[in-house]
Amino acid sequence: MKLVYVFDAYCGWSHGFSATLAEVARRRPELPVEVVSGGLFTGARRVPIREFGYVQGANAKIAEMTGAGFGAAYERLIADGSFVMDSEAAARGVAALRQAAPERAAELAAALQEAFYVDGLSLSDAGTYRTVAERAGLDADAVAAAFASPASANAARADFRRSAEYGVEGFPTLLAVDGERAAVLAVGHATAPQIEQRLAAFAAAA
């Protein structure tokens, strides 16, 4: 059995879920966690952030429910309004980090969201992945090169397909997968104890 975490690096609720996912991983170290990027801001949704008037209200709710922090640099991006969130670029970055340290994929996904939501760094900028890699003790040159590679673009598209195949309609979604069986453990928000209960029920039904 494994956990499959389908998220979008530009999703505030995914940022809020990072601490819960880390807690679940600590409680269940025997379960590998696969990280899959969803395509929240692609195509016609790739527009200046000012077009999403709900962002600040949503962030206040996320902070209240999860304790997640939003940094001053990120708040300046919101206030300016011209920044464009591009989930395809973010998914390429996730793929590059995942390639560098597959067993740390969940940790690195959280670090990437911190780079945006706390430090206000663009997830379309290779320098951001260099920074995240350096903080994580990874080869920054290799990660930056991977971000720009065709392989990461292919991996991003494959992630979007996997997200659709799992039937994911909202981010984040945490799944338990055991062979051909799969169950949704959380969508949007849940506590670690709630996820533990659902995971136990899934295991018992095998």
Q: Tell me if 77 sits within 8 A of 49, measured CB to CB.
A: yes
pLDDT digits (tens, 9 = 90+) for 129-139: 999 999 999 99
Measured between its terminal Cα atoms, the distance across the chain in Å is 11
| pLDDT surpassing 90 at residue 99 | yes
* 146: number of Cβ within 10 Å: 23
| pLDDT surpassing 90 at residue 9 | yes
pLDDT band at 24 (very low <50, low <70, confident <90, very high): very high
Predicted local confidence at residue 37, as pLDDT: 98
| pLDDT surpassing 90 at residue 53 | no
Predicted local confidence at residue 91, as pLDDT: 98
Which regions of the chain does DSSP assign to beta strands (E)? 2-7, 33-37, 173-178, 181-187
| Residue scoring higher pLDDT (176 or 54) | 176
| Residue 49 DSSP one-character state | G
Predicted local confidence at residue 1, as pLDDT: 96
Average pLDDT, the chain: 96
CA–CA dist 200, 180 (Å, integer): 17
pLDDT digits (tens, 9 = 90+) for 153-206: 999 999 999 999 999 999 999 999 999 999 999 999 999 999 999 999 999 998
CA–CA dist 144, 57 (Å, integer): 34
pTM of the shown model: 0.96
Range scoring the smallest mean pLDDT among 1-10, 49-58, 139-148, 183-192: 49-58
CA–CA dist 170, 1 (Å, integer): 23
* 189: number of Cβ within 10 Å: 15
Q: Is the dihedral of CA 140, 151, 85, 187 positive or negative?
A: negative
| pLDDT surpassing 90 at residue 46 | yes
CA–CA dist 18, 2 (Å, integer): 17
| pLDDT surpassing 90 at residue 38 | yes
Range 26-50 average pLDDT:
95
Predicted local confidence at residue 54, as pLDDT: 78
pLDDT digits (tens, 9 = 90+) for 113-132: 999 999 999 999 999 999 99
